[in-house]
Amino acid sequence: QVQLVESGGGLVQAGGSLRLSCAASGSIFSSSIMGWYRQAPGKPRDLVATIWIGGGTNYADSVKGRFTISRDKAKNTVYLQMDSLKPEDTAVYYCNAKPITAEYWGQGTQVTVSS
């Protein structure tokens, strides 16, 4: 059974940093495009960052230069380093895995940035 378990969310002041982690079980990690999405109250779930199997990355314009996505193949874990956080980054952050024929989501972790 595939599981994605996120951790690292919390409350931080504007300008601060957090690092989110997503541990993937099963054999999907090495064959999946991994990503982070976020959803604020009353808004749709939006893509934040993607890391491809080969290591290439893509970011939403709103987080470019502030967030960094990375993956540790030995630990089957993907990270989202978030720096210079803003109140508008407040949302539930979800880990996503896309192997060839499926899609999986984590349970989400709350990130709250106070002004």
User: Would you place residue 108 in the very low, low, confident or very high pLDDT band (cuts 50, 70, 90)?
Assistant: very high
At 28 the pLDDT is 81
At 31 the pLDDT is 85
At 6 the pLDDT is 95
Pairing type for strands 10-13 and 109-114 reads parallel
| 52-107 per-position pLDDT tens digit | 999 999 999 999 999 999 999 999 999 999 999 999 999 999 999 998 888 999 99
Sign of CA dihedral 47, 18, 103, 65: positive
| Cα 89 versus chain centre, distance | 12
The amino acid sitting at 63 is V
At 88 the pLDDT is 97
| 1-33 per-position pLDDT tens digit | 788 999 999 999 999 999 999 999 867 888 899
